[in-house]
Amino acid sequence: MSAENNKTAAEFSQNWKLIKKTINSEKPLIHHITNNVTVNDCANLTLNWGALPVMAPAAEESAQMVENASALVLNLGTISSAQLESMLQAGRRANQLEIPIVLDPVGVGATKFRTEAAQQILSELKIDLIKGNKGEISLLAGKTAEVKGVESIGEYEEIAENALLLAQRLDTAVVVSSETDLIAEGSQLAEINRGHPLMGKVVGTGCMLGSTLAVFAAAAKKSGLSLFEAAKTAVYYYSLAGEKAAAKENTPARFKIEFMDQIYLLG
């Protein structure tokens, strides 16, 4: 299967100029119902892109909060029954208002509850973009995958097919984070070969990518870009920030700080 992998830096730059202009003028609010482990990192990263973060997990206010938002992030990292109900309420309201939803099904397949929560969200809500690792995307596509904690185990040659299958079945965009990142929507498939291994040494880089995708999705409509183009551009610049940070720092803690600074310098 062939994938679009020859997009030039100049073409991504044109997309980014459109998105950055929208972010700067609109200051989109990104509503997160997310992972307790990485919530602070996701908030700071969203702010560094130039958007505004809000973390409002309570079911009593989640639907009302999303009315002020430009995108909604649902992250299953520390999912609970109460948080699931909040996600469903916020998601229903987001669907009514046509506000894009980004789902990060962290660890789906690791437990029955986590898997059923993801399935319920996908059955009751229209999700605009799903971001996961190879195992998570394979499982959601109905294929065999072994997941331990939040990291998938094993290599699957069919990951591109699984991403396209899931994208087409749910009419959504799919981002697969791996050594080579894949972005799928409809029959379109793109590869992004950027980033640095240190990004895998910091807890939360996957969650922060979900926030990044939400920022770019929020800006996509008013930028005149498709969600597919916005997602590719998000992954490209997120990975580029990782490369720039790794060029300056070579240990995980220092890298994390520099990575945040590089996002800020881009934004």
Distance CA 175, CA 62 (A): 25
55 marked as part of a ligand binding site: yes
The alpha helices in the chain, defined as continuous H runs, are 9-26, 39-48, 62-66, 81-97, 112-124, 134-140, 159-170, 205-223, 227-246, 252-266
pLDDT of residue 151: 44
pLDDT digits (tens, 9 = 90+) for 249-258: 999 999 999 9
pLDDT digits (tens, 9 = 90+) for 28-82: 999 999 999 999 999 999 999 999 999 999 999 999 999 999 999 999 999 999 9
167: which 2 tokens? 């994208």
50 marked as part of a ligand binding site: no
* Residue 193 is assigned to a structural domain of this protein: yes
* Residue 170 is assigned to a structural domain of this protein: yes
* Residue 3 is assigned to a structural domain of this protein: no
pLDDT of residue 198: 93
Q: pLDDT higher for 7 or 99?
A: 99
* Residue 166 is assigned to a structural domain of this protein: yes
Amino acid at site 217: A
Three-state DSSP class for 77?
coil
pLDDT band at 237 (very low <50, low <70, confident <90, very high): very high
The backbone torsions φ and ψ at residue 143, rounded to the nearest 5 degrees and listed phi first, read: -105, 170
The backbone torsions φ and ψ at residue 21, rounded to the nearest 5 degrees and listed phi first, read: -60, -45
End-to-end CA distance of the chain: 34
* Residue 4 is assigned to a structural domain of this protein: no
Residue with tokens 């945040």: 260
206 marked as part of a ligand binding site: no
The backbone torsions φ and ψ at residue 107, rounded to the nearest 5 degrees and listed phi first, read: 70, 15
Taking residue 17's Cβ as centre, other Cβ atoms within 10 Å add up to 11
2 marked as part of a ligand binding site: no
pLDDT digits (tens, 9 = 90+) for 158-210: 789 999 999 999 999 999 998 889 999 999 999 999 999 999 999 999 999 99
Distance CA 66, CA 220 (A): 18
Altogether, the residues listed in the chain come to a count of: 267
Range of the domain at 114: 9-266
- For residue 148, pLDDT over 60 is answered with no
Domain containing residue 109: CATH number: 3.40.1190.20
Confirm if 147 and 135 have CB atoms less than 8 A apart: yes
Number of domains in the chain: 1
* Residue 2 is assigned to a structural domain of this protein: no
